[in-house]
Structure 1
Amino acid sequence: MVPVTLNIWQQGKDGNMKNSKNVIVLTGAGQLGMAIARRMGYGNKIFVADWKIENAQAISKTLTEAGFDVVPFKVDISSRESVQSLIKAARKEGEIAIFINAAGVSPSQASIEQILKVDLYGTSLLLEEFGKVIKYGGTAVVISSQSGYRMPALTADEDRLLATTPTEQLLQLELLKPENIKDTLHAYQMAKRANGKRVMAEAVKWGERGARVNAISPGIIITPLALDEINGPRGDFYRNMFAKSPAGRPGIADEVANVAELLLSNAGAFITGSDFLIDGGATASYFYGPLQPENR
């Protein structure tokens, strides 16, 4: 698969032609995002953005030492002003050709309100703002989660509301009000269900710019955060999940990057508005195998 690496030549104020690279923007400075950026980054300018600048700097250092052209950037994806500042900085370097959103918080990291603000509202905000500026032929992936598949089905009307409600009105929906959210896991599941629906709806808008957007929903992928979870109080739950899945193991970041590379490259030119479940069959086992809840 061949990443998008075509450079654009623009005329400067002095009349001379200058080289302007395509730009990749990664939000969420973690192992998953870095694995994807490495696949697509050759010949492009990469912005690595995170709400903790030290995380962005650490990933940027690793990529820079591997020969990539990288800029660390601080961003709060739940702030429209902050996201717009990131986009403005990136566009000074060239056209945004690839967007990767791997940002988010987990049920054990944050409150119900934080999860909905970052994982649900934040993702919607990113899709909206990057959808305004993504170049013709540009692509994007949103890292969601298998958790979006683990909750009972919503009604068609509820799915439509999650997909199409204007971003600034999303958190006012009845099904997202705090009294209707059981706990942080439920909030996380709702956020990830919404991610898939927003990607479907945004794919229609992005298509008007000749651009594509898809989601990836990983299961347990070995990262520093996952290792903390596996070795923490809920470790038995996670070990049981991958032990009883068809694959019998957790995944690694490069396996997610394999799919992302397809979706972000020309090899995936006919794929948009889709959500790819990559969980070693854990969700299949949850519904039809040994992981089925006893009280179902």
Structure 2
Amino acid sequence: MAAYRSALVVIGAGGMGLAIARRLGPGQRVVLADYSQKALDAAAASLRDHGHEVEPRLVDVSSYESVTELAKFATAAGQLNTVVNTAGISPHMGTAKRVYEIDLLGTANVIDAFIDVMAPGSSLITISSLAGHMPGLAMTPDLELHLATAPRDKLLSHPDIDLEGSSWLAYGIAKRGNIVRVQTGALAGKKNGVRVNSVSPGVIATAMTRHELQTDKGAEIRAIIESAAIPRAGTADDIANVVAFLASPDACFIDGTDILVDGGGLAGQRFNAAVEKS
């Protein structure tokens, strides 16, 4: 495969990943990766129909070996200027163990595998969630430090990480882990000038969210939307807009941080009742 001027890696071929690839893809070779061959084929076909050059690859983000193979392939595709990790599952899609493996360990694997092979001045962005900011999340200082700093092979070994417990609690802890993991990732990226950040979407109108609305948590999700400052679900393009900003030179002084893109959902959850009383 001949080297190209620049390459964009998007991990996760769902709604957000596809929107991000469309937004950032022009002029670059797009390396699109996913665990599902069916999802990968459909997203790659859609991108090609819009004129993008796409290199689809299967990947399992819970496996460091799989992610490192993807990183090797991507570096052969061209200069890696942007890597975006959107891979993740929601609580209804798997056990607590699987949520931790994909949503938490997967992020650590992507950061560790890509940070040393990206170009100076490049941007690595991972998708976290409003759930990592939610009030009442069971998060001790010791657990947060562990999530931020533990070696990836020890990341799931902590007394407060119950692999057999609630997948909903696992999701919140995993997403909080993403937020703090990019902070230490930014420090690791300092040596070769790679910026590492995360984006935390609120309720986004994807197929995954539509499925969640049919579960026993549907009423809670609707309540987040209704109490938000902007009372609507977001779109994948809303997230792609922020990712594009973080990948651009305009964000050259933003590193090790999380941008919450939730339409004021967190504000509503924290203070809506107090504001209504005043």
Q: TM-score, normalised by structure 2?
A: 0.93
Match of 2:112 in 1: 128
- Give CA deviations for 1:20-57 in whole Å, capped at 9, x if unaligned: 22111111111111212222111111111000011111
**Structure 1 outlier segments of 4+, above 4 Å:** none
Please tell me whether the aligned partners of residues 80 and 117 of structure 2 are also in contact (alpha carbons under 8 angstroms). yes
Are residues 1:161 and 2:135 paired? no
Q: For the residues of structure 2 that align with 1:101 and 1:35, how far apart are their CA atoms?
A: 13
Give the secondary structure class of the aligned counterpart of 1:92: helix
C-alpha spacing 1:283/1:232, structure 2 compared with 1 (3 Å): same
Match of 2:85 among 101, 112, 123: 101
More deviation, 111-120/154-163? 154-163
Report the count of equivalent residues: 274
Q: TM-score, normalised by structure 1?
A: 0.87
C-alpha deviations, 1:70-107, integer Å up to 9, x for none? 01111000111111111121122212211000001110
Deviations 1:160-200 (A, max 9, x none): 21101111111112221437x4x111000110010001000
Distance in 1 between residues matched to 2:222 and 2:202, nearest whole Å: 12
What SS does the aligned partner of 2:93 have? coil
Please tell me the residue identity of whatever aligns with 2:262: D
Following the alignment from structure 2 to structure 1, what is the Cα–Cα distance between the partners of residues 223 and 83?
34
Indicate the residue corresponding to 2:258 in structure 1.
Answer: 275
Q: Which residue of 2 aligns with 1:50?
A: 34
Q: Is the 8 A contact 2:3 2:78 kept in 1?
A: no
**How far apart are the structure 2 equivalents of 1:231 and 1:145?**
20
SS in 2 for 1:96: strand
Gaps of 5+ in 2: none
Structure 2 CA distance for partners of 1:19 and 1:133, relative to 1, 3 Å: closer
1:32 partnered with 2:16: yes
SS in 2 for 1:132: coil
Tell me if structure 2 keeps the 8 A contact 1:244–1:290.
Answer: no
Match of 2:228 in 1: 245
Q: Is the 8 A contact 1:285 1:291 kept in 2?
A: no
Counterpart-to-counterpart distance in 2, 1:111 and 1:229: 15
RMSD after superposition: 1.9
Aligned amino acid, residue 240 of structure 2: A
- Bigger radius of gyration among the two: 1
Percent identity, aligned pairs only?
35
Instruction: Tell me if the contact between 1:53 and 1:72 (Cα under 8 Å) persists in the aligned partners.
Output: no
Matched, 1:138 2:153: no
Residues 1:206 and 2:197 aligned together:
no
Of 153, 171, 184, which residue of structure 2 is paired with 1:188? 171
Cα gap change, 1:65/1:268 in structure 2, threshold over 3 Å: closer, same or farther? same
> How far apart are the structure 2 equivalents of 1:53 and 1:270?
37
State the secondary structure of the residue aligned to 2:229.
coil
Q: 1:172 and 2:143 equivalent?
A: no
